[in-house]
């Protein structure tokens, strides 16, 4: 049974709250924290698919390896360049499109396309933020 299918509305509410809190946090915190928040967001976004894979007992290795790779990229970006944090979010957006096309653990199209839009918009906003700092 799908972990998220029965929790669709609470997940939508959590996503809306998270995006709102991200916008508020970025506008009120020092710039250095923007990248910590973005990296934490990149890590959290990948947990959804791992949880679903474990719940369904399908594609567990695929989802874990992808999550580890994107998480590593985001964390390395904290210590090297924010571009890697942005790249981690873009990579997750690409993974959302791949999920929509049937790769990995099955997920609802609404969620994957919504997640794609959020990751793409957020990574774009972060890119503009980074360009403004350099």
- Higher per-residue confidence, 72 vs 20: 72
pLDDT tens by residue, 87-126: 999 999 999 999 889 899 988 877 788 888 888 888 888 8
pLDDT at 58 over 70: yes
Question: What mean pLDDT, rounded, does the chain reach?
Answer: 85
Residue 53 in contact with residue 59, Cβ under 8 Å? yes
Contact 52, 105 (CB under 8 A): yes
pLDDT > 80? residue 25: no
Share of the chain above pLDDT 90, in %: 42
Burial of 105 (0-12, 13-18, 19+ CB in 10 A): buried
CA distance 111 to 43: 17
Q: Counting every residue, how long is the chain?
A: 134
Is 2 a residue whose pLDDT tops 70?
no
Q: What is the pLDDT of residue 30?
A: 80
DSSP-derived letter for residue 7 is G
Least reliable range by pLDDT among 10-19, 41-50, 74-83: 10-19
């Amino acid at each position: 049974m799908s972990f998220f299918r029965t929790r669709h509305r609470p997940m939508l509410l959590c996503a809306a709250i998270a995006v709102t809190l991200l916008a508020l946090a970025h506008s009120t915190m020092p710039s250095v924290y923007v990248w910590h928040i973005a990296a934490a967001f990149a890590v959290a976004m990948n947990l959804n698919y791992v949880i679903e894979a474990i719940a369904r007992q399908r594609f567990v290795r695929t989802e874990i390896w992808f999550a580890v790779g994107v998480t590593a990229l985001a964390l390395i970006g904290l210590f090297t360049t924010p571009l890697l944090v942005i790249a981690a979010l873009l990579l997750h957006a690409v993974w959302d499109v791949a999920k929509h096309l049937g790769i990995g653990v099955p997920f609802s199209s609404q969620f994957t396309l919504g997640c794609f839009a959020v990751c793409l918009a957020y990574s774009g906003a972060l890119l503009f933020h980074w360009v403004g700092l350099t």
